[in-house]
Amino acid sequence: MKIIKSASAVQKLTSGLRAKNKLIGFVPTMGYLHEGHLSLIKFARKKADLVFVSIFVNPLQFGPGEDYKKYPRDFKRDEKLCRDAGVDYIFYPDVKELYPVIYSTFVVEEKTTSGLEGEIRPGHFRGVMTVVLKLLNIVQPHFSIFGQKDAQQASVIKKMVNDLNINTKIIVAPTIREKDGLAMSSRNVYLSNLQRKDAPYLYKALEYAKRKIEDNKYNRDVDFLSKQMYKLIKSRPSVTKIDYISFNDTETLEEMKTLKQINKKTGVLVSLAVRFGKVRLIDNMVIKR
């Protein structure tokens, strides 16, 4: 396994690999890897001749007062995990490598970023899309893998790739969870013992929605279902705020007001974002009826 810090060096390498018809798989990350990341790497390892992983905490996607400086970092740990998982190359640039002093070009999508995380975190997706487009142009992968846990991000990236005719395939892999249902996240390390005990109630709320939506006899509207989920989560003592509980079309991300709007083939994306003090967790589930 090799570690490369230069964007131009990666471009030169991958251009040569493509010329030799080597299939390149790519997993972009912000580091502090967990089993969720490793599942993406293992998927790529099965499909690709060569697997690239990027480790870069992207400052552009953090807003004022968010946890950019405190975001967990441990490159030595990440390096070992990547090596053990069979990664061929780690792209590990510093901030100046991707954003020189004179940098002033950004990517903006004007529809699927308007709600959910985009509404709560203005500018977040401008940062996400900008860095992902740069990484795709640098690594030049045949396919790139993102996790379902960041469902809106995956949807936005797929739209960007389609709209801008980027030569890569976007694969969305399932969310990996702890035994109690909590979605794996680098931010989970911030949780106190009580918060960690309460955090699985996000998944319990999603499971509640799943049971009700799959029950063809259940005809309550989305507002009632959202309120029941809200009560379940807010019953936990360490929950300080629920940013949103939302029901959206899985493709357009348009908000749904009634279960009658659910497409029987694609289902509905049920998403939520919850704060435990300074720790903010997101989760989601695609549900069909």
Catalytic residues: 37
Q: Which amino acid is at 276?
A: F
Q: For residues 127 and 157, is the Cβ–Cβ distance under 8 A?
A: no
Strands ordered across the beta sheet of 2-4 = 2-4, 89-91, 50-55, 24-29, 143-147, 169-173
245, with CB counted inside 10 A (0-12, 13-18, 19+), is buried
Q: What phi, psi does 124 have (nearest 5°)?
A: -60, -50
Q: What phi, psi does 249 have (nearest 5°)?
A: -60, 135
Q: For residues 240 and 155, is the Cβ–Cβ distance under 8 A?
A: no
CA 280 vs. chain centroid, Å, equals 14
- Please state whether beta strands 89-91 and 2-4 pair in parallel, antiparallel, or not at all (unpaired): parallel
Q: For residues 148 and 154, is the Cβ–Cβ distance under 8 A?
A: yes
**DSSP characters over 174-189:** PPPB-TTSPBP-GGGG
277, with CB counted inside 10 A (0-12, 13-18, 19+), is middle
Report which DSSP code applies to 195. H
Contacts of 51 (CB under 8 A, 6+ apart): 24, 25, 26, 27, 41, 44, 45, 86, 87, 88, 89
